Amino acid sequence: MASKEKNKTPKITDVVGVDFGSTSTKLVRIRKTGSKLTLVDADVMPAFDLEDGGGQKLSVPKKLNAPYAAACLAGDESHVRFMFISSKLNDQRSIRQRVGKSLGLGKEFRVGYTIVEQGKDEMDHKVLAAGIPVSEVQNARQLFSSHHPSLVSLEISGLAALNSFSHTPAVQEAEGIVCYLEAGAASTFISFFLNGELRLVRKFDHGSVYIQRRIQDVLNINEDDALTVLFEDATPLMDQTLDPVSTLTQEVSISCKFVERNENSHIEQVYASGGLSYSPYWTYVISEIMDQEVQPWNPFKENGMAAYPKGVNGVESMFTPAVGAALAKLQGDT
């Protein structure tokens, strides 16, 4: 008779997190020993075109080649929504069907969900739902070889980043509302926590590429000069009546007011990760909306990984989705 131990799913303690971003691919290898997390190595590679299968393959450097891989992707065409589902629905299939129907997505999308708060009595389930094109999922899977590393999960980068944030003291021990933004090249995700619990998540299709192009149009300058304005010196924008981020700021402002009113509390802390977290102009605009300083999120330090490669110093927040993807598997095996 076969031992039951042999049939158990192996405990994951060594994983490479891979973030297939719009402008680059970030990789982090994290190892777990007991409750301690160690960053083995991190690297940045060119971006992959996930809209084109094309026989591309991810060649993971030796130091990053863990037994398992947890990946995330930018998901430009993805849909993310916070919703309420009847608590009368208790089995996964029924909830998934209702989520898919509420998102209004067809069979060409893969739908997933997490119950953020279980409904009690007549109260609905509070659900975070997401849908991503099946073609992007398939193309991402094909990037990995069939044996090593073994791909064990795939999610949207903006949501993966939450895994590096939600379990930390910055959230669990905070007073008042904590806001977290993952602001990448293609999109911005904003989330709010109160008393350690997720209250709202929204996705905006306005990332650094959109803002850079708007700056080009507003100032009538080239791409390089627009990037200089966005990430170094925003003085040329100060004399302009046109605001290149007005659409985003309006949506962010609406979200903030909604959460503060709904929770009868105030935003006390704001953290940001992703490329835009390095933009003085963007962080200034966000801090003005929230009346709080925007603090850069360091996913390594805040999760107990004090030592990491020199190349990561100063750009820690850019690795947040990759770290979050890895931690989702490591934390899931505690």
Q: How confident is the model at residue 3 (pLDDT cuts 50, 70, 90)?
A: very low
Assess whether pLDDT exceeds 60 at residue 242: yes
Same fold for the pair 10-78+132-165+298-334 and 171-296: yes
φ/ψ of 166, rounded to 5, equals: -65, -25
Residue 19, beta-bridge partner list: 26, 72
Give the CATH fold of the 10-78+132-165+298-334 domain: Nucleotidyltransferase; domain 5 (3.30.420)
* Sheet of strand 267-273: strand arrangement: 197-204, 188-194, 177-183, 267-273, 294-296
Q: Report pLDDT for 333.
A: 44
Q: What is the pLDDT of residues 59-85, one digit of tens each?
A: 999 999 999 999 999 888 888 988 888
Helix (H, G, I), strand (E, B) or coil at 151: strand
Q: Report pLDDT for 121.
A: 67
Per-residue tokens: 283 = 């962080």
Other CB atoms within 10 Å distance of the CB of residue 316: 21
Domain positions in the chain are 10-78+132-165+298-334, 171-296
Please provide the CATH number assigned to the domain covering 171-296. 3.30.420.40
Q: Report pLDDT for 7.
A: 46
Of residues 252 and 117, which shows the higher confidence score? 252
Say how far apart CA 187 and CA 184 lie, in whole Å.
6
Q: Report pLDDT for 290.
A: 94
Alpha helices in the chain (DSSP H): 4-7, 92-103, 134-142, 157-160, 169-172, 208-219, 223-231, 235-238, 246-263, 280-290, 320-331
Asked if residue 88 lies in contact with residue 80, where contact means CB atoms within 8 angstroms, the answer is: no
